[in-house]
Amino acid sequence: MNEMVTACLNACPHACRQGGACTCQQAFCGSHEKVEHTQHESASCHSQAADHESHGAVSCHDDAGHEGHGGHHMGMMEDMKQRFWVVLVLTIPIAVLSPMLMMIFNYSINFPGQGWIEFILGTIVFFYGGKPFLEHGWMEIQNKQPGMMLLITLGIVSSYLYSVMTTFFLDASMNYYFELATLILIMLLGHVIEMKSQMRANDDLESLANLLPNEASRINADGDIEVVGIDQLQVDDLVLVRPGEKVAVDGTIASGHSTLDEAVITGESVPVAKDDGDEVIAGTINGDGALQVRVAKAGNDSYVQQVLDLVKGAQAQKSKAQSLADRVAAWLFYIAFGVGIIALVIWWNLTTAQTAIQFMVSTFVIACPHALGLAIPLVNAKSTSLAARSGLLVQNRIPFEQAYQVDTVVFDKTGTLTKGEFAVDGVYPIADVSENQILALAASLEAQSEHPIAKGIVQAAKEKDLDLQAVNNYQNHSGAGLEGEVDGNLVKILSPKATREAGYDFDQAQLEKITSQAKTVVFVIKADQVIGALAVSDQVRPEAKEVIQVLHKQGIEAVMLTGDNDQVAQAVAKEIGLDQVFSQVLPDQKSAAIQSLQGQGKSVMMVGDGVNDAPALAQAEVGVAIGAGTDVAMDSADIILVESQLKDVLNSLSLSQATNTKIKQNLAWGAGYNIFAIPLAAGLLAPIGITLGPALSGIFMSLSTVICAVNAQSLNFEKYE
């Protein structure tokens, strides 16, 4: 099956479950097929159809490209429009011959065969205009999932059969053809409006899919430029990106310089300067310079496609609130059906058969399980797409929706509250060795590590043009340090805590003096003798203090979790105003620190790099990985922040709050509408002269979903820049 590029427009409130056929009650999906795939596939059909408990799911649509899904729904809308115009033309003579309109406007038409003409026109309207409703109503019966389409089907079938009965067996002056025609006319128009509203609610996801060009200009070995499809590109191919073009691949600039508009990826509106060796991302827009880009990832492996998969996967997840809404929506059919039958019986005995049928049909038509079924998915579709456009990738929907309840945010220090770019501030010889000897020895060992401190030490050695030596039997001791053999001697680089625990002596007073300045110290040990120490510092992010202040204004506690010594941790905490510090915590102990906070009744968000902090991210109610860049494959994180911007933590909380507000609004509307509309349509207020005919009921039903869609589309959030 071709991979879906856009999720279905969330148009099936109860479809695609347990292998059932899709019953797109609003958008009429057309032909569907059952597809088996694993729970981890993100191309799930509809957000409300995803099932986390099982390994089987259903995917509604085959998609043949970035525009396939949008074109599919556009085709459905065109079909509905065509049916609408045909029914409108047929409704005109039906209206002219309507006994009700003759009575209202005081005119009379009576000729032989008049009843037959009304019957023929009404029958065409019923079968042609009502076909989409009849088909999907029957599909709901087959799937044993009765819903809104079956209610509409019952309404128009009742109207048609009653009119036929009056034409051939009862009083022809009491026929219902005009009401039938106007009902179908209104339903067709309403569904066109609904589809447009729902498609607008998914425009962000559709536009994400359209970020990737379909073709690229490949530079062949002989220098010729060949336009090829994205699927024909290989890693290490060279691609030409002309001024103003979209970048087609993820890669690095082999030649050229320009500025790139990365707003669609990061939300940053300012173009970013790019030069040789810099990374570029597919979907960004080149400025004035021509670039030659070496392909690293293309097509389905590209960053944009990974983001799209994440967004679709998140939209396919169901919260408890959504599951409850789905169950209530499923019961609405039985409620509306029961109330409709009761209304028929009561009004049949109190008034005429025509009036009784009118109340029954109105009740069937006005009920809208769809408004409840779509209340959450429409907001989900908007919020996850909006998040992706702002550099916030929602991987797990439920924690994201619950983020607004967080009362404690725990930050890792290195690379989160600080820039993670260490510089050597001092070298302190202890034995009879020079500063350069200590630095060179330390750098030789640290060159084997990817830790930010290691990179800073190696960079300092490079700046002094020091020669690094070969290292044998290298070992990394997580949270303590590292060791290896250099020139036949065992060399260790340890933290103060690990140095003390290993029994080595050092000047504690000197250590405290250095660490009080927010500097991190590591000791260099050679042949079981401490020969020196290095002091390195990491600059606190300039926005860190402001972010902590905003959290405090929101009543949220800010905590730091670090493996660094307490003096350094307290110095950083004092500088930016943290409430609590966990220091000298090893990576495998971080989740226990989160548990201790949760044991105090706190709801915790953990913010870290997504690698060393994986257990803590998984333990927290909400795990946030910061600075992921183009690597979005972080299983431990619920939310992934593409940029290393602390303010995106505030943005994720803000968007979660805004999303929750919209969900509550839509649920309140969906539930409230049905609570008031069904009794009203059944004639509860008829004794005081307030009634709804089938046509007006149909208008209200369509508007109820449109309101949900428009409300979801209006979702926005306070963004911290």
Residue in the block written with tokens 């969906």: 670
- How far from 37 is each of 19, 49, 59, 305, 535, CA to CA, in Å? 11, 14, 9, 19, 54
Residue in the block written with tokens 């569907």: 32
CA 694 to chain centre: 38
- How far from 325 is each of 305, 328, 411, 686, 702, CA to CA, in Å? 31, 5, 35, 30, 19
CB-count burial class (<10 Å; 0-12, 13-18, 19+) for 234: exposed
- How far from 230 is each of 213, 219, 250, 254, 294, CA to CA, in Å? 8, 13, 11, 19, 14
CB-count burial class (<10 Å; 0-12, 13-18, 19+) for 436: middle
Question: In what side-by-side order are the strands of the sheet with 238-241?
Answer: 225-229, 215-219, 238-241, 291-297, 250-255, 279-280
For the chain, the residue count is 721
CB 42 within 8 A of CB 8: no
Residue in the block written with tokens 């589309």: 713
The yes-or-no answer on residue 425 being catalytic is no
What is the Cβ-side half-sphere exposure of residue 56, based on CA atoms within 13 angstroms? 8
The C-alpha atoms of residue 525 and residue 492 are separated, in whole angstroms, by 5
Choose, from 63, 250, 326, 412, the residue flagged as catalytic.
Answer: 412
The C-alpha atoms of residue 405 and residue 659 are separated, in whole angstroms, by 12
CB-count burial class (<10 Å; 0-12, 13-18, 19+) for 432: exposed
Give φ, ψ of 261 to 5 degrees.
Answer: -85, 105
- How far from 575 is each of 486, 572, 584, CA to CA, in Å? 39, 5, 19
List 536's β-bridge partners, or say none: 424, 520
The C-alpha atoms of residue 451 and residue 454 are separated, in whole angstroms, by 5
The C-alpha atoms of residue 381 and residue 387 are separated, in whole angstroms, by 10
Nearest of 197, 184, 198, 156 to residue 9 by alpha carbon:
198
The helix (H) or strand (E) run that includes residue 258 is strand 258-261
Rg value, the chain, Cα: 33
Dihedral (CA of 434, 440, 445, 447) sign: positive
The C-alpha atoms of residue 37 and residue 59 are separated, in whole angstroms, by 9
**CB contact set of 85 (below 8 Å; sequence gap of 6+):** none
Give φ, ψ of 212 to 5 degrees.
Answer: -85, 125
- What six digits make up the tokens of 103? 């009575």
- What six digits make up the tokens of 560? 């730091």
**CB contact set of 331 (below 8 Å; sequence gap of 6+):** none
- What six digits make up the tokens of 25? 């009650």
Report the catalytic residues.
Answer: 412
